[in-house]
Amino acid sequence: MNQDLSILHLVLNASFVVQAVMLLLMAVSITSWAAIFRKFFALKRVKALNEDFEREFWSGSSLNELFAQCVKNAGEGGPMERIFASGMREFQKLRERRITDVGTLMDGARRAMRASFQREMDAIETNLSFLASVGSVSPYIGLFGTVWGIMHAFVGLAALTQVTLATVAPGIAEALVATAIGLFAAIPAVVAYNRFARDIDRIATHQETFIEEFSNILQRNVGAQQQQQQAPAGR
């Protein structure tokens, strides 16, 4: 009895539809775990790069030197570094056009940083929707396999004159394996999705805070430069 109801025996003796559902769920589960590990290491790298850049940003280096370093290391920096570079690039372009209005300069820099911020968040959120889909759909796919397996088992029992628990149990157990595999695929995906969504929200808040702080620094620098230029004229 124990050998007949082993997981491997149940899977091998299930109907074709149930086996197809199990195979699909196993493939989804493997893909989901791969996405989970990729996202885990990707978010860890993003956090480390953002912390390194923020440490350099507040170390006292001039904005021009920091921007030159960002341009030199293009493609190797983190999201916050690219947001800073896009804001400085737009700010310098507007200054080269002889634009001196503080509001115009700041609006251009903020728009550039916001656009870069959105691109970075789109890249960070890659595969997150896949995990959400796996967590919500996998139990229903497993349930479909279970319902189909139970239907198949009862159709087979219709030809028997005497039905006992020993004749019903294998067919029901085969069908329930599909639901178990569906839950096995869904639960890690849901847990990982909630964890990653919380981490991504923190990264987004951190980067938005940096945009505001950097904008304030730019605005103070522009105001100080204009005061220096107007001082000789006042004298």
Strands (E), the chain: none
- Residue whose pair of structure tokens reads 């310098």 in the numeric block: 92
Return the pLDDT at 186: 94
Return the pLDDT at 1: 41
- In contact, 158 and 213? CB cutoff 8 Å: no
**pTM for the structure as a whole:** 0.81
Return the pLDDT at 38: 95
> CA–CA separation, 226 vs 163, rounded Å?
94
pLDDT tens string for the chain (235 positions)? 444 556 666 666 667 787 888 899 999 999 999 999 999 999 999 999 999 999 999 988 788 889 988 888 877 889 999 999 999 999 989 888 887 788 888 899 999 999 999 999 999 998 899 999 999 999 999 988 888 878 777 776 666 666 565 666 666 777 788 888 899 999 999 999 999 999 999 999 999 999 999 999 888 887 666 666 665 554 4
Q: Which of 92, 91, 120 has the alpha carbon at shortest distance from 206? A: 120
* 11-23 tens-digit pLDDT: 666 677 878 888 9
Sign of CA dihedral 148, 152, 153, 155: positive
Identify the DSSP state of 61: -
What share of residues in the chain are helix, strand, coil (percent, to 5)?
Answer: 85, 0, 15
Other beta carbons within 10 Å of 59: 8
